[in-house]
Structure 1
């Protein structure tokens, strides 16, 4: 993930992302609050939070695909939209992790805290351990030389492991894969992975998912 795009747009992207989330979140919380209490088996707090999140999120993969189709992805407007959506998605996944932690009917408060803390540790591990490791792997490969199949497989196995970890924690497997994707540095490795997987993902997985 090219995090430099977010740095280029600066505080503008953050401001738009926050402003774009607050109103839909308030509306979603208001609607869900009026509908809550009708099902005794539903955790009221997590239900209200979940509906608010759903209505306030702009999906990053969907927006990226739309911008690519419209050939706007490399424009200033496209970069700003991507940065805003990325920040929006990160906030949404953080709130979703909290909602899932609170949704466990039989769990104690400490169990919910454990889920949130575990997710924070996972994110920290990805940024402070996985990212430097991947950067070392990139530097270890001579410039101009292609990455081996083994190296790419190691990186892709990391996606599966990350998804498995967050699923075990109790969040969602997509959250793990999403965070792992954020820590992969933009450059030759990212380009090599896209080259290997783009047709398979765009032609098969995306239509199935959406």
Structure 2
């Protein structure tokens, strides 16, 4: 059976089975993140769950695959498999604990004493090369070392969202074209294309990922529609799958037929991930932000100049007539904000939290002419801040309201129009004119 799935004749069947299982389980975090951004879901609770799951999935998957490569090459190095395993786990543990802490402390100094984003970019590339060199030395592929450096670097809240986008563009525009070009030179896709193997790999990959993600989301208490959305998101494989297959091909573990099947599977799953997510979520009953606004929870000019103060000011205004504790609600919103900043770009931020005991959504809105830093992807401060407090038992409401706000401010002139208003009535009128018309 392994031979039918594309195992090289000289490869160990057990190692091949471990590889194939890992290849079916891997996800493509960059593709998932981009899909969530396109659907205006990246900063929502659902988006945070998907991204966290994808990071954990990739961490476990690449750890297992790196050990597989170490097992293959162990006979050709001075390190035994057990030693390689121990060094790999030690490196991972140190990088994700001590290394992460040191990086977190170093970033403010780099941002303070270097010009622009160049210092952080150079620091990130140097660290990635160091991690790659070390893991290559101990018998594990270089990509695993760089991958762990990326996780440790990305865990710091000192790494601004704008810098993250710059790093992604740097890799996408310089390294990615070279990588994909090299693949085309190595493999003849026309002669190695096997319809039966492609369909088998695609079926196993999709069924396994969708079922696994659905069961996990169900255990997490998420509603049925969110379970399918998470499954469709996690099903995207992208470049991660292609890299995995290429390394296995170079190691003599798989045939070119299986590599081509993995590439096709990666492309198909990435292409359908976004449309299927949109389809699974469009069946929701639509909550419109304008239906939850009231004059008492609107402020034309916020007194706050920082993110924490803005949240405090909006929470105080939101719960003034509700049976809620200001400090408790503020702590919940700020805790969520620290997990993932809620600036969505285009001058808008949507801090939010799900509150125990709340029966209906509470929305407070504040404007700031000078702007408040909410770590948005475009690097721009927030001039319109929506605070969303929603029932803990109904996670769909927060997702729908956030999506509705994102749709309204997708209009290029939306922020300019809002900043020209003088009172609540004008604000409500502008939102209603900007709001997309519901589909018939």
Common fold: TM-score over 0.5: yes
Greater alpha carbon shift after TM alignment, 46-55 vs 195-204:
195-204
**Is the 1:60–1:85 Cα contact (8 Å) retained in structure 2?**
yes
SS of corresponding position for 2:159: helix
The structure, 1 or 2, with the larger RCO (C-alpha pairs under 8 Å, 6+ apart) is: 1
In 1: Cα distance, 2:145 partner to 2:119 partner: 22
Q: Which residue of 2 aligns with 1:19?
A: none
**RMSD over equivalenced CA pairs, Å:** 3.1
Q: Is 2:157 the counterpart of 1:187? A: yes
Pairwise CA distance, 1:131: 1.9
Distance 1:114 1:33, change over 3 A: farther
SS of corresponding position for 1:106: helix
**1:65-109 Cα shifts (integer Å, max 9, x gaps):** 22223332112222111111111111101211221122237369x
Q: Which residue of 2 aligns with 1:99?
A: 68
Q: Is 2:68 the counterpart of 1:61? A: no
Aligned residue pairs total 176
Question: How do 1:160-199 and structure 2 match up within 5 A?
Answer: 160-184=129-153, 185-191=155-161, 193-194=163-164, 196-199=166-169
SS of corresponding position for 2:99: helix
Pairwise CA distance, 1:171: 1.9
Q: Which residue of 1 aligns with 2:59?
A: 90
Structure with the higher fraction of residues in strand conformation: 2
Structure with the higher fraction of residues in helix conformation: 1
Distance 1:88 1:38, change over 3 A: closer
Q: Which residue of 2 aligns with 1:126?
A: 95
**1:23-51 Cα shifts (integer Å, max 9, x gaps):** xxxxxxxx648759871x21222111001
**1:136-174 Cα shifts (integer Å, max 9, x gaps):** 2235468xx474444542342111110111122222222
**Is the 1:33–1:48 Cα contact (8 Å) retained in structure 2?**
no
Q: Is 2:12 the counterpart of 1:43? A: yes
TM-score of the superposed pair, with normalisation by structure 1? 0.69
Pairwise CA distance, 1:54: 0.5
Distance 1:141 1:79, change over 3 A: same
TM-score of the superposed pair, with normalisation by structure 2? 0.35
Runs of 4+ that moved beyond 6 A: none
Q: Flag structure 2 segments of 5+ consecutive residues without an equivalent.
A: 180-238, 240-440
